[in-house]
């Protein structure tokens, strides 16, 4: 069944973060496909040592192949600048509107939480991986067991790591009545 061309597409507000992330992922994937097609259509002798005249190699530390723009991964730690900020904002919407209200449970010494979770790099990485898996396993293509698989294989182990007494929030809030936030030093950072 197709919609009339003049009919606007409506997206629920709670789905906008997922939509933004999906669009970014599809744009990056489209770019990678274009680069692959360009490499495959190069004729013999068109190749220099990886760069053609007028192109430059990757910027220091950006991790992208020579002559490409954009992220080489959809994982939040591979993003920078505006792309990182947009992905973090979309992740925050999902964490604060779905994940914590549904799965948050009580804050205790055995299950700490940090309301400033965006300042914990490990938490950002784990929550982003969990969110990416949620998008995949709640998609219609995941089938009827997708959500159960997400709970078993992704939510439960990630939540146990994040909320463990020795996890990234171990020095943060252990009582909802007394919010607390403290970043733990990384190994080797104390002597630096």
131 inside domain: yes
Residue 34 lies in a domain: no
Please state, in angstroms and rounded to a whole number, the distance separating the CA atoms of residues 88 and 142: 25
Distance CA(66)–CA(48), nearest Å, equals 12
Interatomic CA distance for residues 104 and 106, integer angstroms: 7
pTM more than 0.75: no
Q: Is residue 122 part of a domain?
A: yes
φ and ψ at 46, to 5 degrees? -80, -10
End-to-end CA distance of the chain: 63
Q: How is residue 116 written in tokens?
A: 């400033």
Q: Does 25 reside within a domain?
A: no
Number of structural domains (the chain) is 1
Evaluate whether residue 66 is within a structural domain.
no
Q: How far apart are CA 189 and CA 113, in angstroms?
A: 23
At residue 162's C-alpha, the angle toward residues 159 and 168, to 5°, is 180
- The residue whose two tokens read 């252990």 is 174
Does residue 185 lie within any of the structural domains?
Answer: no
Inside any domain, residue 110:
yes
Q: Are 179 and 115 in contact (CB under 8 A)?
A: yes
- Of 84, 75, 179, the residue nearest 127 (C-alpha): 75
Phi, psi of 182 (to 5 degrees): -155, 130
Parent domain of 118: 81-162
> Would you write out the chain's pLDDT as a tens digit for each of its 192 residues?
555 666 666 666 666 667 777 777 777 777 776 666 766 666 554 444 443 333 333 333 344 444 445 557 889 989 999 999 999 999 999 999 999 999 999 988 999 999 999 999 999 999 999 999 999 999 999 999 999 999 999 999 999 999 999 999 988 878 777 777 777 777 876 655
Strand partners, 108: 111
> Does 94 reside within a domain?
yes
């Amino acid at each position: 069944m197709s919609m009339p061309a003049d009919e606007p597409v409506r997206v629920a507000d709670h789905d906008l973060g997922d939509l933004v992330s999906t669009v970014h992922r599809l744009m990056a994937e489209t770019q990678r496909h274009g680069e692959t097609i360009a490499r495959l259509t190069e004729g013999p002798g068109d190749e220099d040592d990886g760069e053609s005249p007028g192109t430059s190699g990757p910027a220091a530390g950006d991790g992208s192949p020579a002559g490409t723009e954009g992220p080489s991964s959809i994982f939040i730690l591979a993003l920078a600048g505006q792309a990182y900020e947009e992905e973090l904002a979309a992740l925050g919407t999902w964490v604060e509107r779905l994940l914590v209200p549904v799965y948050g449970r009580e804050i205790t010494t055995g299950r700490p939480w940090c309301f400033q979770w965006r300042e914990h790099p490990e938490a950002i990485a784990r929550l982003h991986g969990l969110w990416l898996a949620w998008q995949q396993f709640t998609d219609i293509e995941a089938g009827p067991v997708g959500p159960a698989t997400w709970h078993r294989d992704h939510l439960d182990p990630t939540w146990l790591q994040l909320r463990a007494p020795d996890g990234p929030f171990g020095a943060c809030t252990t009582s909802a009545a007394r919010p607390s936030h403290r970043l733990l030093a990384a190994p080797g950072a104390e002597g630096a």
